[in-house]
């Protein structure tokens, strides 16, 4: 029998063979025939690449859409191996690594918009993406309309204008965990000649963007692939040759790349991403279920819970779940009491980011900027990122805090 816990871990389990094999040196490669090779791609530090003659340099220089480089700013071997592995996980054609998850969002928006365009962004999006749209994009005369992440098809069609070039999506929403109907968004975008860009950070590895009509998939590799809270990195993946050329040209023009040490850390983190996240997803669901039984808790926002509003779409489109979800407390609880509780936790670190091996907590209500009504009510709420800890220890810590509210 498949339990809910099996279901949140299934997609992670299926990734493991791919994670072990792709993006490593091949011992059968000509270069290694007489010398053998290390298991892992070595870190290569360098700006200048030297060539035996000008002809060779010119030849490599014209191949900028492949995984070669005439200069360090076009990437190093370890960056290119990381790109190969990300593209394989996403089932895309190719990937561009950039300096952070936020840079992945902004580079993608700059690549697929121009002055005079209109862009639709979900009201539930990652805060810094909103700030970029409201300041830089606006300055370049790209107008943004924020839409309800749970919008219906007819209402979305009504928001489309002749100059709408991009529908941006993020599923589930940062903090509020609304699951978006991605195939519907793709249908509306494509009927209008627009592209669908998805921030797939939560769904990375368990949501196949290009099977659901997405044109451009964005990740913060800082989260699951890094996995150890020791690196900041982003990726943009596309499915077609023409989109790849457009993306690669933009990344080179913007000087987007990442250092070899960060790429190496992400590549190393990816080898164990499947086992880490399967375990973290199981623990997160167990804790989410336990929280729903507590009288201090009004709602738990986790799409794998059967009565979550996004549950049906999650079951239809995702092969697993992430370790990140939110908890809304009863309206009778004051914000001050919640903050005292958060300060008292011993197993949860107080800090930004998520997806690492350690568990984290952050209050969420005050930090959410919205243009539309909805989102979280005024009740105090907090977000948990569940790590590799023993679930019993995390539950004991939460129980201790909740019972003193």
Binding site for ligand PLP (CB under 6 A): 100-102, 105, 126, 170, 174, 199, 201, 220, 222, 232, 234, 353
Distance CA 57, CA 374 (A): 57
Residue nearest to ligand PLP as judged by C-beta position: 101
For the bound state, the minimum distance from the C-beta of residue 369 to ligand PLP, rounded and expressed in Å, comes to 15
For the bound state, the minimum distance from the C-beta of residue 256 to ligand PLP, rounded and expressed in Å, comes to 13
**Which CB sits closer to ligand PLP, 100 or 326?**
100
For the bound state, the minimum distance from the C-beta of residue 180 to ligand PLP, rounded and expressed in Å, comes to 13
Structure tokens belonging to residue 391: 């679930």
For the bound state, the minimum distance from the C-beta of residue 337 to ligand PLP, rounded and expressed in Å, comes to 27
| Of 118, 111, 165, 167, nearest in space to 143 by CA | 118
Q: Are 356 and 231 in contact (CB under 8 A)?
A: no
Phi (first) and psi of residue 298, to 5 degrees: -85, -45
**Which CB sits closer to ligand PLP, 160 or 232?**
232
Distance CA 177, CA 325 (A): 7
Q: Is the peptide bond before 227 cis (omega within 30 degrees of 0)?
A: no
Q: Are 398 and 341 in contact (CB under 8 A)?
A: no
Distance CA 331, CA 298 (A): 8
For the bound state, the minimum distance from the C-beta of residue 52 to ligand PLP, rounded and expressed in Å, comes to 39
For the bound state, the minimum distance from the C-beta of residue 265 to ligand PLP, rounded and expressed in Å, comes to 13
Beta-carbon contacts of residue 107 (< 8 Å; ≥ 6 apart): 96, 98, 236, 250, 251, 254, 256
């Amino acid at each position: 029998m498949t339990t809910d816990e099996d279901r949140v871990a299934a997609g992670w389990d299926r990734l493991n063979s791919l994670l072990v094999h792709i993006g490593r040196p091949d011992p059968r490669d000509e270069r290694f025939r007489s010398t053998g090779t290390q298991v892992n791609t070595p870190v290569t530090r360098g700006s200048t690449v030297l060539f035996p003659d000008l002809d060779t340099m010119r030849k490599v220089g014209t191949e900028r859409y492949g995984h070669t480089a005439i200069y360090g700013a076009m990437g190093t071997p370890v960056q290119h191996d990381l790109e190969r592995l990300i593209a394989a996980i996403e089932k895309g054609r190719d990937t561009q690594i950039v300096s952070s998850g936020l840079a992945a969002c902004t580079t993608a928006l700059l690549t697929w918009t121009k002055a005079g365009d209109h862009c639709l962004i979900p009201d539930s999006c990652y805060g810094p993406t909103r700030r970029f749209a409201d300041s830089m994009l606006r300055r370049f005369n790209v107008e943004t309309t924020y839409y309800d992440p749970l919008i219906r098809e007819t209402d979305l069609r009504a928001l489309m204008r002749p100059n709408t070039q991009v529908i941006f999506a993020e599923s589930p929403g940062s903090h509020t965990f609304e699951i978006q109907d991605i195939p519907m968004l793709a249908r509306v975008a494509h009927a209008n000649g627009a592209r669908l860009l998805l921030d797939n950070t939560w769904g990375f590895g368990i949501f196949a963007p290009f099977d659901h009509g997405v044109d451009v998939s964005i990740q913060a590799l800082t989260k699951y692939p890094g996995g150890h809270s020791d690196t900041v990195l982003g990726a943009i993946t596309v499915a077609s040759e023409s989109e790849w050329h457009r993306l690669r040209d933009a990344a080179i023009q913007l000087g987007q790349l990442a250092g070899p040490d960060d790429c190496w850390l992400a590549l190393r983190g990816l080898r164990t991403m499947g086992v880490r996240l399967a375990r973290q997803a199981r623990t997160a669901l167990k804790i989410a279920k336990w929280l729903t039984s507590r009288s201090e808790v009004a709602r738990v926002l986790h799409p794998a819970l059967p009565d979550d509003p996004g549950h049906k779409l999650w079951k239809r489109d995702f092969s697993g779940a992430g370790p990140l979800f939110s908890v809304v407390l009863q309206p009778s609880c004051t914000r001050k009491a919640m903050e005292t509780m958060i300060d008292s936790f011993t197993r949860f670190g107080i800090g930004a980011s998520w997806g690492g091996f350690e568990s984290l907590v952050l209050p969420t209500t005050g930090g959410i900027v919205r243009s539309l009504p909805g989102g979280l009510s005024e009740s105090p709420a907090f977000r948990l990122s569940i790590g590799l800890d023993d679930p019993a220890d995390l539950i004991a810590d939460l129980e201790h805090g909740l019972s003193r509210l």
